[in-house]
Amino acid sequence: MLCVQLTRWMHYAAQLKTTYLSTCVTNGLCSVVAVSGNLVIILAILRNSSLHTPSYVLLCNLAISDLGVGLVAQPLFIALRVTEAKGLVDISCYLGFAYFSTAGCLVWLSLMTVTAISVDRFLAVHLAIKYRSTVTVKKAKFLVVFLWIVSILIAMVYVVDMEVYFVVIMTVISSCLLLASCNYFTIGRVLRRQQIQIHGRDRQQKVSPFNIRRYKKTVTSMMYIYGVFLLCYLPYLFFSLALKLVGRTTTVHSAYLITATIVLSNSALNPCLYYWRMSELRLGIKQLLGREVLGSVRESSLQM
């Protein structure tokens, strides 16, 4: 079934040369940023013990999925487009299988991880002092394994039955985006209420002004990540609806190439957001890069 679909898409390549070229170049550039940026993020989290928290376990998982996108999915996207343009049916079939299964797994993993991060922040504000004892690193790691399993299963559905896959992705995307949006909306209301109580000098408040300011900064950073995530994923959601209603035409196929590229480019944007918004992680990155530079200098001096 997948090979049949790929064969049908090939005749659009001649009509969309500019779109094919621009999306391939964009994915190539984003791939370099995604691999280098997310690799640094992962190493900084793993080597800094102060970042070994449930929140950073989820963030590290997001960076791992983004690393996979840059390392595997985007190169496969480029290779698939090239073989489509050249009319290499057999090779396109294998590359299409590899791309859609890999990209599907990693993209849905990113989506569910971003949603899990919103749930983590929701629990932090509602559990307050009980958060650390309730939400542990061990539980976060179990959740990560569960998300990987679900993502792999979703990717397998595409290869088995595309009609069922459409229903699954619409359900998953809608549910995750709705849940995350509700979580951040509720968090905003709770934080505003707590700030009003603190300004009124309510000494019975469980969360101190310092903790609220720090938590608000963390939530704001996560909301930036979620906002960019929405901007990258919503166009693909609209494309999926158009594909179902209209079918694949030249315009719809062009929209697919563009929206898929936007989704994949999110993997390159995330590490930039982390560095910009998260001071603890930024410090960890500077320490990591400082150690690497110092190690290189020492090695060079020894060789001399």
Asked if residue 178 lies in contact with residue 226, where contact means CB atoms within 8 angstroms, the answer is no
Q: What pLDDT, on a 0 to 100 scale, did the predictor assign at position 90? A: 83
The beta strands (E) that lie in 115-166 are given as: none
Q: What pLDDT, on a 0 to 100 scale, did the predictor assign at position 291? A: 64
DSSP letter (8 states) at residue 128: G
Mean pLDDT per 10-residue section of the chain, whose length is 304 residues: 69 87 96 96 92 93 96 95 87 87 90 93 85 91 95 82 77 88 88 66 48 74 90 87 82 91 95 90 87 50 40
Q: What pLDDT, on a 0 to 100 scale, did the predictor assign at position 210? A: 42
Q: Which of 217, 155, 219 is nearest to 186 (CA)?
A: 219
In angstroms, the CA 240 to CA 236 distance is 6
Asked if residue 235 lies in contact with residue 262, where contact means CB atoms within 8 angstroms, the answer is yes
Burial of 50 (0-12, 13-18, 19+ CB in 10 A): exposed
Domain boundaries, the chain: 2-294
Asked if residue 229 lies in contact with residue 266, where contact means CB atoms within 8 angstroms, the answer is yes
- How many CA atoms are closer than 13 Å to the CA of 13, on its beta-carbon side? 20
Structure tokens, 96: 């299409």
Q: How many CB atoms lie within 10 A of CB 78?
A: 20
Asked if residue 232 lies in contact with residue 266, where contact means CB atoms within 8 angstroms, the answer is yes
Structure tokens, 242: 């158009």
Q: What pLDDT, on a 0 to 100 scale, did the predictor assign at position 109? A: 93
Q: What would be the CATH architecture of the domain defined by 2-294?
A: Up-down Bundle (1.20)
Structure tokens, 258: 């563009």
Q: What pLDDT, on a 0 to 100 scale, did the predictor assign at position 303? A: 42
In angstroms, the CA 207 to CA 21 distance is 53
